[in-house]
Amino acid sequence: MEKAMFCRQCEQAAQGVGCEVMGNCGKNPQVAALLDLMIHGLEGVAVYAHRARELGAKDPEVDRFMLDGLFTRVTNVNFDPEDIAGRLRRCYQMKEQARSLFEKAYQERKGRSLRSSIAGLRHGSLREIRQG
């Protein structure tokens, strides 16, 4: 049987395993799903921001958003689905901003675009792209 939600984020998890119908904290399945999406979105932001930083580029707006996004996820203080949906839309914007930052830094450091590096890759690995 499909569960309405699954969250094991905190020590209040139902039966010490996870909340599956409604959170003991009051989180409902809709909010749980939105917050799960927020984590996936933040992973995307983090990948690009981390790779950009390895190339010497950073964006304080992206960094601040990461903190704000994680705070949204890890604290049980905001169960407003509209507000969380707005933060998700902002998360997508930040992911695109971080991607642009990474691609620009890649171009500057490697002297070619990331796209051209990928296009020229036949039997190589992602490691080759990173090492240029």
Q: Is the dihedral of CA 103, 107, 110, 113 positive or negative?
A: positive
Nearer to ligand SF4, 23 or 69 (CB): 23
* DSSP 8-state secondary structure symbol assigned to residue 102: H
CA separation, residue 88 to residues 2, 22, 91 (Å): 25, 22, 5
Query: Helices 29-54 & 81-110, crossing angle to 10 degrees?
Result: 20
Stretch that binds ligand SF4, among 1-9, 84-92, 96-104, 124-132 (CB under 6 A): 1-9
Chosen residue from 2, 39, 61, 76 binding ligand SF4 by CB under 6 A: 76
Q: Which of residues 16-35 bind ligand SF4 (CB under 6 A)?
A: 19, 23-25, 27
- Which single residue is written with the structure tokens 């409604």? 22
Q: Which of 4, 13, 114, 129 binds ligand SF4 (CB under 6 A)?
A: 13
- Residue 10 or 114: the one with the smaller Cβ distance to ligand SF4 is 10
Closer of 13 and 47 to ligand SF4 (Cβ): 13
Q: Exposed, middle or buried: residue 49 (CB in 10 Å: 0-12, 13-18, 19+)?
A: buried
> Binding residues for ligand SF4, per CB under 6 A?
7-10, 12-13, 19, 23-25, 27, 76
